[in-house]
A and B are shown apart, each in its own frame.
Chain A
Amino acid sequence: MLDRKKGPLSKLYPLTKLVFLFCAIILAIVYDWKFGYLVMVPLTLVLALFSGNFIGFIKKFIGALLLFVIFVFLFKIMLDKSDSQILFQWQFVIIRIQGLIDGLNQTSVLVVMAAVVLLFFETTEVEDLMISLQQRKVSHVVSYIVLSTLQMIPDMVKRSKVIMQAQQARGIETEGNMYLRVRAFFPSLGPLIISSISELEERAITLEVRGFSASIEKTFLKDIQSRAIDRILSIGFILISIALLGWRIYLWLF
């Protein structure tokens, strides 16, 4: 029952934010780079100010995209065979405006997706998201799979480190030439997988004993509720998106 997320956006019902996320991505797909770079990205940044962790958000955002964006612009500039205005020229390197626009268009959807997804999880506990989905009749199995995975990954990382250290102590090289490193891979991963699978039986019994598959509607210890503001915002997002989609279709047709 610990609440680790702060800031006003964390108080919103998770599904409200999920509606925003999907609307943003759909609009980014149908509109060009100007919508993504000039509307959605600034909007997300402003919202991130209310996430309680602006610096953390910016770091994740740049970390997730930097390499990708650099390469896309590199590719687009190299592939640009247009005769548009030359912005920069040095020996055989020529940067034309069309190459840059191609780069912006290519990256716009992903930049928007990355921004809203990161913001979503910056302001939402995964557990709360799962509870809100279950309240909308999504199976508790989905919730189990996601939450269990989030505990399983750090647990396995920890165990793999222990195993690799044990391997090194027993003289199995984890550095050196490729042959040695390839040989180290199997004893590092194999026992980890086998032991996890061997524990499965007892884990399954534990869940059954706790009523995991009892045919009863589940309740929640954590009190997650949709408020009036959530309904207003969700309907608002959907209406704005429908209007913008309609406008876009109108522009395509006429």
Chain B
Amino acid sequence: MAPLLQFEGVSRHYRLPRRRLFAPTPRVTALDAVSLELNPGETLGLVGESGSGKSTLGRLAVGLEQPDSGVVRLGGIDLAKASRTDWRRLRRDAQMVFQDPFSSLDPRLTVARIVAEPLGLLRLPAAEAAGRVREALAEVGLGVETLGRYPHEFSGGQRQRIAIARALITRPELLVADEPVSALDVSVQAQVLNLMADLKARHGLAYLLISHDLAVVAHLADRIAVMRAGVIVEVGPTAELLARPQHPYTRALLAAVLPPDPVRARARLGLVRRRRQSVGSAAS
């Protein structure tokens, strides 16, 4: 099976502001020769801390940025060599969902227009386009009554549903989701994660799921790639990576998770209280 998305030795640098007039411009390496593949229908989780390069990789995947070296292939097409016709197909096949559902939706547009936006690529007849909008909203659990409303009328979780509906409307094969739930509260986060799992099961959608939250990634991903300082330090099937992390950084990430269980969480933190007996155990 040919990979749906392929990074081959991809590097990306950013220039920083010059510190002195005649000094060379400092550069940071966001990605350092990264190679990674994503198969059709697969969910690949990309986990790492701020500045690890995970968002840059996501932006490269959909052509929002270009690599300084290396090749990004989407559906077998080298993005650096893609023609206009190729791009039309690529933009249909790969869509993106961003972290902040408050800034990624245009506040002046109705839900109907926001969701229909990517359809401009497909040049569909109006009636079919309207049908697609209703269908995409239904996919994410929103009714037709939302069509004429504006983003500010919705909660964070609902806005993220609107953003997902907009991404789904072109019937893509790949959804790049950059921190799709990190702006949401736990109870609402679960709604969106369940929706993403449903869409995957129903349509065989592939996800590149980018998150700092290992718990979120572990829940949805078939495979996990751990990134640090522009490099993938470890990649493997989710269950295996969780059970037998090889790289010390993966182990550190796993060890930093505090379970919602007082006994285990205290043990994780390794906290020994000297001054006072625990009130809980004193009272029982």
Q: Is A bound to B? A: no
